[in-house]
Structure 1
Amino acid sequence: MTSSRGPVVAGLMLTMALAAVDATIVATAVPSIVRDLGSFSLFPWVIAAYMLTQAVFTPIYGRLADVYGRKPLLLIGMGIFLAGSLFAGFAWNMHMLILARVLQGIGAGGIQPITQVLAGDLYPLRERGRINALFSTVWGASALLGPALGGILSESISWRWIFLINLPIGLAAVVVIALRLSETVERRHHKLDILGTVLLTTGVLAVMLGLQETSYGTALAGVVLLAAFGWWETRAAEPLIPPWVWRDRVLLGSFLGSLLVGMILIGPAVYLPTFAQGVLGAGAIVAGFVLAVQSIGWPIAGALSARLYMRIGFRDTALTGLALIAVSAVMFTQLTAASSVVYAAVCTFINGAGLGLLSISVLVAAQAVVGHEHRGVVTGGVVFFRIAGGAVGASLLAAVANGTLADRLGGAGSVDDTIRALENGGDETVRLALAGAVHNAFLAMLIFVVAGFFAVAVMPRRFTPRS
């Protein structure tokens, strides 16, 4: 692969920023969109449709990138994403907007894994920690800035520009990548694993829908479909996910570690701003700042990860990250109504540093243990498990938090309902119930961290990198 690295990396960062922003940008535009399109009951699907389709198509893009090349698959993903953005910007009802978000998600499914595959292609092992930390910073900062940007655009211009703004930025990135990135792909006949693709797509979609809607029957059906997918992959001529992937201890540890990254990441992202506003009485800007500190610790640790994994190995670097996350998780459980936002920010900084070490080390380890021809499928697996971990973690933590509220307030309730009650003048009992709910959610996160030590320990302490 020959490329002008600087311009190409800039183009890749733009594409990743767009995909990350669109995951969260619509959250603050709810009033404007519902006012124009109606159907408030359908609005959650505007967010869920994007996230679900992105997760489903991530491993598919990863495999196809190995077969047909990184550049064409990235450009196809960007083309689909931009088409979805155009349709979303001109949506005339909520159903059209949801379909446009599905299209966006299908395109976004190729952006994050392929940009990180290209980072592995463009940079040697010693430099991958730094460049992947940079990509992680772009992804994290963009996701955090999304709600603020969505609010500004919907209030100052129109909510439609939340989506239309993607077009000039995305087209600029496409032009740079198309002109400055060149790769050589071995041309040979391939037999696409169509049945495997269908089984994986429907299985993952059913599991994630079941978790989101708390429909255990749907989730169980998804598990059955995924089991059928696993059976078929041992028989397919060119499997979508080769069976040998699961027999490699480095890859297995990397996938499990990435699953835990997603599960751990979701706790502070969802519950810390809630705690800061509902319990500590901080404003939205301060609450956002408390969480944004995580995006400072993450890239700093990620940039240092290469020095660590070159010296002590990938597994021990990941375990060091988990140790930092464990410290932050214990600190999170000590948050009380008397805590300061500065203490909460320190917690998120340490958590971000741990996630930086963990996420970069498992990603680079997965890329290093395989050759160039399999880097797409393993990177797609790492990204997919991180997204899936977020969905699983969100469902489990919501069950813990909402169960605590129901127990303390004497009836069914949710975190959202409690926040609204506090905004409408809820008493101290409601405030303390919310504090207890968030405390128990952080206790559950601590359990995730302990599980993470066992997951990462699957990896061998040392191995010889192939690429």
Structure 2
Amino acid sequence: MNDALHKERKVTKRPFVLAAVILAMFIGAIEATIVSTAMPAIVADLGGFSLYSWVFSSYLLMNAATVLIYGKLSDIFGRKPVLIIGILIFLIGSFLCGLATSMEQLIFFRLIQGLGAGAVMPIASTIVGDIYTTEERAKVQGYLSSVWGISAVTGPALGGLLVEFVSWRFVFWINLPLGLLAIAGLLLFLHENIEKKKPEIDYAGTFVFLISISCLMFLLVEGGVKFPWLSGKSALLFAATAIAFISFIWIEKRTASPMMPFDLWKVRSILIANIVSFTTGVMLIGISSFLPTYVQGVMEENATIAGFTLTAMSIGWPIASTLSGKMLLSIGYRKTTIIGGISLILGSALFVLMNAESGPWWAAISSFFVGVGMGLTSTAFIVSIQNSVEWNQRGAATAANMFMRNLGNTVGAALLGGVLNGRLQAFLDRQPNEEIQSLSIDSINKLLGGEGSKLSDEMFHILQEGLSSSLHSVYVVVLIFAVFSFLFLLLLKKGE
């Protein structure tokens, strides 16, 4: 009798639980685009342009390192407590980010934010799988997909408006009321029957992975800027990365409950999907992180316009995701992903050809094509992966693909940040004027902060040219990753 009442109560509360889940997913999804739009203003206020990429890298590092761990914790202790704790940590990080008075503080607070964010996406999706039947999930997943579309469209625009008319600090504080509403919904309306399970968490794998990716990120961001590539420090960081990564693979193959189930990688379609998710993850962070800086610093547009150029990618993505489902049925998985790969190359090539005179419309069109490519490939990957494995492996296989995209974001933020810093420093060092040679990477702060009028015409144009050429190098690397993605997609069998 009690069980029947419990089930009835749980069923009647589902719309409220779904609303709470959607709110939680919204604050996690909007974080990527809203902060990107605000970054030029943050740099102008706090300084530290050389640390630009660490604002993204620190958040993504903790997110990538904890996403699979949170999934396991939710199996042991229940979705509700783990998700609520994750949201609380995220909100504490968001509140502190808004109080930051230096770039170093902001980077540390972003670590806290990322630590909480790792719980939000996987557990929110899992709750939907728990409370809805197989027949209902397709419709509900449509709602969740629309959260990504809405957040991606509103994030850049909202970020631009907050920066221009209020303060960049509200880009972080806007999470607080939404997050508290999500927690209230979960506390009041989500009821779980938790079966006690023996904790099997891959702490050792998580620890060595964190060491490996941290060393690699530090090497990519600071190598060639703070210390030479061919130096003892570079060699030490490379060796630490390699040893920790080899240890990670060794641990994963021997532990009973691995963080990354490598056995799944033996399936050809999953292997290619995971590799391409990594390469497209690098591309995605390169465009979303640095495009607002190009539009504001090189094209001299305001934060709102910069936000709208990024929104174009967010419009292309959900449109292509919707089309992808139909294309998979009509022309197949391989052709759908290859068309997506061509769109990624086209968008990236347009970014490489972009210059100061191109204007924001060029940037928006380039973003749109990349968004179309992302939508076609990512949707096809999820469908393919879930069709390639049995039910009891589906969650792990989907999480592994999400993990690879997060890892691509993390490495991409570090790699492309390192390319930007290295090229900009080399550009300044090549200048014949000694006064200009004395400029540092952080001199870009003035360019982004509207203090360009305080610089001489020569210094202003040199800094602008340096930023433009450095970001051009970033887009060349993005194009290279687009080509790699396409080549891997060609390896798919024609029957797939």
TM-score normalised by the shorter chain: which range applies? 0.7 to 0.9
RMSD, matched Cα: 4.1
* Structure 1 segment 329-368 matched on structure 2, within 5 A: 329-368=348-387
Tell me the TM-score normalised to structure 2 length: 0.76
Match of 1:204 in 2: 213
Deviations 1:358-408 (A, max 9, x none): 222223433443455444433332233223212333344344445554555
SS at match of 1:318: helix
Distance 1:27 1:339 in 2: 22
Is 1:387 equivalent to 2:420 in the alignment?
Answer: no
Residue 104 of structure 1 aligns with an amino acid whose one-letter code is Q
Which residue of the other structure, out of 462, 471, 495, is the alignment partner of 1:438? 471
Q: CA deviation at 1:57?
A: 0.9
Deviations 1:218-277 (A, max 9, x none): 354133212112111222122232231222223222221221221111333244333333
Q: 1:438 to 1:112 in 2, by over 3 A?
A: same
Match of 2:483 in 1: 450
Match of 2:179 in 1: 170
Distance 1:246 1:259 in 2: 14
Moved more, 299-308 or 136-145: 136-145
Q: 1:130 to 1:414 in 2, by over 3 A?
A: farther
Deviations 1:382-438 (A, max 9, x none): 233223212333344344445554555515887764574593334656545544433
Distance 1:337 1:95 in 2: 31
Unpaired runs of 5+ residues, structure 2, are 1-6, 224-232, 432-436
Distance 1:203 1:173 in 2: 34
Q: Tell me if the contact between 1:18 and 1:166 (Cα under 8 Å) persists in the aligned partners.
A: yes
Q: CA deviation at 1:354?
A: 1.4
Q: Tell me if the contact between 2:157 and 2:307 (Cα under 8 Å) persists in the aligned partners.
A: no
Moved more, 391-400 or 88-97: 88-97
Distance 1:431 1:28 in 2: 14
Residue 201 of structure 1 aligns with an amino acid whose one-letter code is L
Q: 1:17 to 1:263 in 2, by over 3 A?
A: same
Unpaired runs of 5+ residues, structure 1, are none
Moved more, 107-116 or 63-72: 63-72
Match of 2:82 in 1: 73
Q: 1:120 to 1:220 in 2, by over 3 A?
A: farther
Q: 1:458 to 1:132 in 2, by over 3 A?
A: farther
Distance 2:103 2:419 in 1: 32
Distance 1:314 1:71 in 2: 36
Distance 1:324 1:297 in 2: 11
Match of 1:144 in 2: 156
Deviations 1:285-315 (A, max 9, x none): 2222222211111111122222222333444
Which residue of the other structure, out of 98, 108, 114, is the alignment partner of 1:105? 114
Is 1:259 equivalent to 2:278 in the alignment?
Answer: yes
Q: Tell me if the contact between 1:321 and 1:356 (Cα under 8 Å) persists in the aligned partners.
A: yes
Moved more, 255-264 or 101-110: 101-110
Moved more, 112-121 or 191-200: 112-121
Distance 2:100 2:359 in 1: 44
Match of 1:15 in 2: 24
SS at match of 2:254: coil
Distance 2:157 2:215 in 1: 30
Tell me the TM-score normalised to structure 1 length: 0.80
Distance 2:294 2:48 in 1: 30
Q: Tell me if the contact between 2:86 and 2:119 (Cα under 8 Å) persists in the aligned partners.
A: yes
Moved more, 67-76 or 87-96: 87-96
Match of 2:71 in 1: 62
Q: 1:454 to 1:185 in 2, by over 3 A?
A: farther
Is 1:240 equivalent to 2:259 in the alignment?
Answer: yes
* Structure 1 segment 116-155 matched on structure 2, within 5 A: 116-118=125-127, 122=132, 130-131=142-143, 133-141=145-153, 143-145=155-157, 147-148=159-160, 151=163, 155=167
Distance 1:452 1:6 in 2: 39
Q: CA deviation at 1:109?
A: 0.8
Match of 1:228 in 2: 247
SS at match of 1:339: coil
Deviations 1:323-348 (A, max 9, x none): 11112122223223432332332221
Q: 1:41 to 1:236 in 2, by over 3 A?
A: same
Moved more, 302-311 or 94-103: 94-103
Q: Tell me if the contact between 2:318 and 2:375 (Cα under 8 Å) persists in the aligned partners.
A: yes
Deviations 1:149-195 (A, max 9, x none): 6637964xx94x66555343212212323454566666543433332
Q: 1:450 to 1:42 in 2, by over 3 A?
A: closer
Which residue of the other structure, out of 325, 330, 342, is the alignment partner of 1:323? 342
Distance 1:93 1:280 in 2: 27
Identity level (%): 33
Q: CA deviation at 1:94?
A: 8.9
SS at match of 1:237: coil
Distance 1:176 1:315 in 2: 41
Residue 316 of structure 1 aligns with an amino acid whose one-letter code is K
Is 1:50 equivalent to 2:59 in the alignment?
Answer: yes
Q: Tell me if the contact between 2:25 and 2:121 (Cα under 8 Å) persists in the aligned partners.
A: yes
Q: 1:213 to 1:388 in 2, by over 3 A?
A: farther
Residue 23 of structure 2 aligns with an amino acid whose one-letter code is L
SS at match of 1:53: helix
Moved more, 91-100 or 199-208: 91-100
SS at match of 1:234: helix
Q: Tell me if the contact between 2:63 and 2:118 (Cα under 8 Å) persists in the aligned partners.
A: yes
Determine which structure has more spread, i.e. the larger CA radius of gyration: 2
Q: Tell me if the contact between 2:49 and 2:445 (Cα under 8 Å) persists in the aligned partners.
A: no
Distance 1:275 1:374 in 2: 43
Distance 1:32 1:408 in 2: 21
Q: Tell me if the contact between 1:54 and 1:105 (Cα under 8 Å) persists in the aligned partners.
A: yes
Residue 194 of structure 1 aligns with an amino acid whose one-letter code is Y
